[in-house]
Structure 1
């Protein structure tokens, strides 16, 4: 448990009735206004289906908060019409951490450049490739070499975020390598990030959380 979460205007959140637990029970919405003891969200949607809530109904919220995913319960305390209809929800006094950032891993095929760590005074020779999955603790890429466990690689990739792409340059250590199925010259290389900064982890987690929300966006 912890103090109140830091909710931001335009932040994407998932919402579901408090007594439901299946993945298909979650709807997508975003924060439109924040008060001292309440916050407002637009009508939640799951595809083209809106979530209709009654005054006093208990709901649960899932959102990103400072680089981790949290959940908390809230109550519908009214509605407003500021150009669009809004639900007014109570702010929680505490929340629950659902997963630590390093355990949240998603399939992600993004362009990646990787290179072996060069000798002092030399420039790294980057090779173009792509990733297979990503977490804020590491990345799995396709490489042209069977790197041993413990080897170090430089990785560079760009994440498309709400305010534009952000490039990350990171150091990773190999935790395992296995051949790509059907190929003798390409390998899946799982890397654990080394000395990654908190801000860099937060950027990766924002990307992951947004990707987790994508199937719930209205079409």
Structure 2
């Protein structure tokens, strides 16, 4: 079994009624974990004793998922929910490199050897269509019709939670498929922290949605 060093004040997310709710660890014993009762729209989420919940635990850049059950409640300055410690834990790889498959439309411009080209100088008509095949905090895979060469810098315009984000990636691996299209693995070489965090949050959102389906 994977061992996890649970710690007070660390973040958790619990799945209840098809939704994830934020909470954190308030106290620990050998047998159970005490967490703050999650809230929704100003009301405590109605979790009753014996309810089985799915939990995501955040530890540095790693994620762990496990099932737990509600043992009870108590009040110590704030309402506390007592949940059982997990019998089985699954580890999700370091979050920067978690790669989530998806099929989304995107636009791109091949900057070739000029990665510092300002997007504002590019006319919208210069963008070509692409299909986003997968995404991680460190790179993405796109399918395009135009030939791209290894080490070309590609400016990709993609939509993340209804927000358009422009990212420059360098082509590291290119495979031509049977239909003459090019599947390109792009590596983010100079992604700013704010944009990367937006992508990581989006990836976690997609992962949670996939977990619910499974």
TM norm structure 1: 0.62
Tell me the alpha carbon deviations over residues 94-149 of structure 1, each in whole angstroms, 9 at most, x when there is no partner. Answer: xx974212321111111211102276685262112221111111111111223222
Query: Could you say which residue in structure 1 is the equivalent of 2:139?
Result: 138
8 Å CA contact 1:146–1:177 kept in 2: the answer is no
Instruction: Report the RMSD for the aligned CA atoms in angstroms.
Output: 4.2
Greater relative contact order structure (CA < 8 Å, 6+ sep) = 1
- Against the structure 1 CA distance between its residues 89 and 28, is the aligned structure 2 distance closer, same or farther, given a 3 Å change threshold? farther
Partner SS, residue 117 of structure 1: strand
Which among 165, 184, 189 is matched to residue 189 of structure 1? 184
| Structure 2 residue corresponding to 1:208, chosen from 183, 192, 203 | 203
Give the C-alpha shift of residue 77 in structure 1: 5.0
Residue among 48, 56, 63 paired with 1:62? 56
Q: Where does 1:10-49 land on structure 2 (aligned, <5 Å)?
A: 12-13=13-14, 30-31=20-21, 36-37=26-27, 38-41=35-38, 42=45
Distance 1:32 1:206 in 2: 14
Q: How does 1:110-121 map to 2 (within 5 A)?
A: 110-117=104-111
> Where in structure 2 are the equivalents of 1:118-129 lying within 5 Å?
123=122, 125-129=126-130
Where in structure 2 are there 5+ consecutive unaligned residues? Answer: 28-34, 39-44
Q: Distance in 2 between matches of 1:66 and 1:111?
A: 32
Q: Could you tell me how far apart the structure 2 residues matched to 1:213 and 1:43 are?
A: 21
**What is the Cα deviation at residue 176 of structure 1?**
0.8
Q: Distance in 2 between matches of 1:28 and 1:4?
A: 26
- Provide structure 1 residue ranges, at least 5 long, that are not aligned to the other structure: 16-26, 45-49, 81-85
Q: Which residue of 1 aligns with 2:32?
A: none
Deviation by residue 1:147-186 (Cα, 9 ceiling, x = unmatched): 22211111111112xxxx22211110001111133x12x2
Measure, in 1, the Cα distance between the counterparts of 2:19 and 2:80. 10
* Distance in 2 between residues matched to 1:111 and 1:51, nearest whole Å: 44
Count of aligned positions:
182
1:127/1:105 CA distance change after superposition, 3 Å: same
Cα 1:203–1:135, aligned 2, differ >3 Å: closer, same or farther? Answer: same
Q: Secondary structure at the residue paired with 1:110?
A: strand
Among residues 164, 176, 180, which one is paired with 2:177 in the alignment? Answer: 180
Distance 1:64 1:111 in 2: 31
C-alpha distance in structure 1 between counterparts of 2:92 and 2:23, whole Å: 25
Counterpart in 2 of 1:20? none
